Structure 1
Amino acid sequence: MTSVAMWTSLRRRCPCPGPRERLPCFSSIVRGLAEERLPRCFPRPGNKRENLGVALEIIGLEEKLSQCRRDLEAVNSRLHSRELSPEARRSLEKEKNSLMNKASNYEKELKFLRQENRKNMLLSVAIFFLLTLIYAYWTM
């Protein structure tokens, strides 16, 4: 198959909506991989959780939680430092409640992820000891 025929067949199979004449160039694919963005014709996983390890999810969630807490502190300081109209106070109270709910959801998710991380660690330690025992038995 010639290179022209190969590119033509690739163009026909591209699931991107729109014109099929142009394929993404190699540099855009590499750049997309580096930035975790791919051209539209490449399949994307449905769930973010499939891509990340538990430890990376924990780190990302801790960052979100700390940002949420900083926002909550800022709302609290605005709420207590000024004379506010009743509607502005209600708005800030509503924002404070939503931030508190978001923070509690993040904390629950962190608790779950830490438990999952603990289970993974115990499983890997158990497999290590099992392999060590098999190796010791095999070499005797």
Structure 2
Amino acid sequence: MTYLLEIIADEAIAGNDAIFLRELGYSIREVRVLRIVDDNPGITFVEIWEKSGLERSLTSRILQKLIGDGLLLRTSSGTDARKYHLSTTDKGQELRQRGRVMSDVLEALLLDPFPAEDRERLFEQIERLGRWVRSEEYRAALDGFVAPDAITGV
């Protein structure tokens, strides 16, 4: 199942990314980072990196681009010169809104084979699964995992 989820996500992102670039001039991942900052004014790099699920170096490159393009504003932390806080500019908020509309339209296209009630249930199930895989309980279960004898051959 995890393999299938990965394939679905990869295919959907790849197909939609070309549309995001063509219509908005920014990739899905760039708009994702913009959305995270817009939802969390004053957020730090580390918090963005954790929330985005992207590689650290990719997150850094995206932030530099968004700052350089005038979509994000960086302000220094008053207590730590190495730390800075980010917020969206008016231009960034406008792009975020356009990205939201684009995402909604493309998500509806992706879910076209499902009736409305199935879409809602699917979203709830995926959200539940997402909470589980990010939970301490799941991590603890993985840390304590012992393969059954049928796998180890013992």
TM-score by length of 2: 0.25
The structure with more radius of gyration: 1
The structure with more strand, counted as a fraction of residues: 2
The structure with more helix, counted as a fraction of residues: 1
TM-score by length of 1: 0.27
